[in-house]
């Protein structure tokens, strides 16, 4: 660029006859290229990967659910006939449903001696319980065996990219328990929101669990055992958000890597070259 007779050039050129290539410079240049390539690939990996950030707040995240929570239950009772197994749901809003059958399936086990219950249903966002029992059976057995294995108990939509207590009771085994005992699982449900890069939200629920096992009696005798899931909702919501490093930050980092590496390498090469020239002069002085 010329301004009148003044030449303006930020990138000044050094004549080739004023430069001197050295083996040390070549070696440092190769190391610089390898180092820059390594850092570039590391930054590129970090740019492509997504970061999951979590936060806590007080709110009902899924206001469009109509005050309902989807529940998925899969449980095996190897010593209780399918004709006796039923699901009952009740809560503080007055719901009391015995023998829920919608979206449920019973699979016989052990030549019909046992049963695997799989069901999907909804519960209100109010404290309540649902329980597996023989309460809905036409005739009550004398000694119902409530030993069981829980394969799955999950609430809301499935979230795969986050490690959490979305299926805290999965794999719970109570086969060695007292056959006549009732089982109480006390659940504290925590609303969870997962938002991906496209802005789509998935509404799920994590939960913590405490349990106890007991044989219940009343003035009329022993109470029919059941498997109780008593739940309550936490007011705290956990939100996971996918984020990716902005492109401008990626470019800035790459420029800093390249420029910084060559600057430091130039300083090192200059120091080595200056020291080498000084040593040569000392050797020539000794010889003379």
- Pair (225, 259) in one structural domain: no
In total, how many domains does the chain have?
A: 2
Residues 170 and 109 in one domain: yes
Distance CA 206, CA 66 (A): 19
Backbone angles phi, psi at 43, to 5 degrees: -65, -35
The reply to whether 194 falls in a domain is: yes
For 287, phi then psi, to 5°, come to -70, -35
> Do 37 and 80 fall within a single domain?
no
Contact yes or no for 242/54 (Cβ under 8 A): no
Q: What pLDDT does residue 99 have?
A: 87
In a shared domain, residues 168 and 213: yes
Within this chain, do residues 79 and 193 fall inside the same structural domain, yes or no?
Answer: yes
**For residue 131, what pLDDT is reported?**
95
Give pLDDT tens digits along the chain (288 positions): 455 555 665 566 666 665 666 677 778 778 888 888 888 888 888 777 777 788 888 888 888 878 899 999 999 999 999 999 999 999 988 889 998 888 999 999 999 999 999 999 999 999 999 999 998 888 888 889 999 999 999 999 988 888 889 999 999 999 999 988 999 999 999 999 999 888 889 999 999 999 999 998 876 667 889 999 999 999 999 999 988 777 888 888 888 888 888 788 888 877 887 887 787 777 776 655
80 within 8 A of 145, measured Cβ to Cβ: yes
- Mark whether 183 and 254 lie in a shared domain: no
Residue 196: phi, psi to the nearest 5? -90, -175
What is the SS3 string spanning 237-264?
Answer: EEEEEEECCCHHHHHHHHHHHHHHHHHH
Range of the domain at 94: 59-235
Q: What is the dihedral of CA 266, 269, 275, 277, to 10 degrees?
A: -100
Q: Does 101 share its domain with 181?
A: yes
- State the distance between the two ends of the chain, measured CA to CA, in whole angstroms: 51
Tokens 């060559």, residue located: 262
Asked if 255 and 225 sit in the same domain, the reply is: no
Q: What is the DSSP letter of 13?
A: P
pLDDT of amino acid 16: 64
């Amino acid at each position: 660029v010329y301004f009148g007779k003044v030449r303006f050039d930020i990138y000044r050129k050094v004549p080739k006859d004023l430069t001197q290539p050295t083996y040390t410079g070549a070696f440092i240049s190769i190391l610089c290229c390898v180092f820059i390539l390594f850092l570039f690939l590391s930054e590129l990996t970090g740019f492509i990967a997504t970061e999951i950030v979590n936060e806590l707040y007080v709110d009902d995240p899924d206001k469009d659910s109509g005050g309902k929570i989807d529940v998925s239950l899969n449980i095996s009772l190897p010593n209780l006939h399918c004709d006796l197994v039923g699901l009952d749901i009740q809560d503080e809003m007055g719901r009391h449903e015995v023998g829920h059958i919608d979206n449920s399936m019973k699979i016989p086990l052990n030549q019909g001696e046992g049963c695997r219950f799989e069901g999907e249903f909804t519960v209100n966002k109010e404290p309540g319980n649902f329980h597996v029992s023989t309460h809905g059976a036409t005739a009550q057995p004398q000694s119902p065996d409530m030993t069981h294995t829980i394969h799955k108990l999950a609430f809301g939509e499935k979230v795969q990219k986050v490690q959490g207590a979305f299926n805290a009771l999965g794999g719970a085994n109570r086969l060695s328990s007292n056959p006549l005992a009732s089982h109480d699982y006390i659940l504290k449900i925590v609303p969870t929101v997962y938002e991906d890069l496209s802005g789509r939200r998935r509404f799920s629920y994590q939960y913590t669990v405490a349990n106890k096992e007991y044989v219940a009696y009343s003035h009329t005798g022993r109470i029919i055992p059941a498997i109780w899931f008593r739940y309550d909702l936490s007011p705290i919501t956990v939100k996971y958000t996918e984020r990716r490093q902005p492109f401008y930050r990626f470019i800035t980092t790459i420029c800093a890597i390249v420029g910084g590496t060559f600057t430091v390498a130039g300083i090192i090469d200059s120091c080595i070259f200056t020291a080498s020239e000084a040593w040569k002069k000392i050797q020539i002085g000794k010889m003379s």
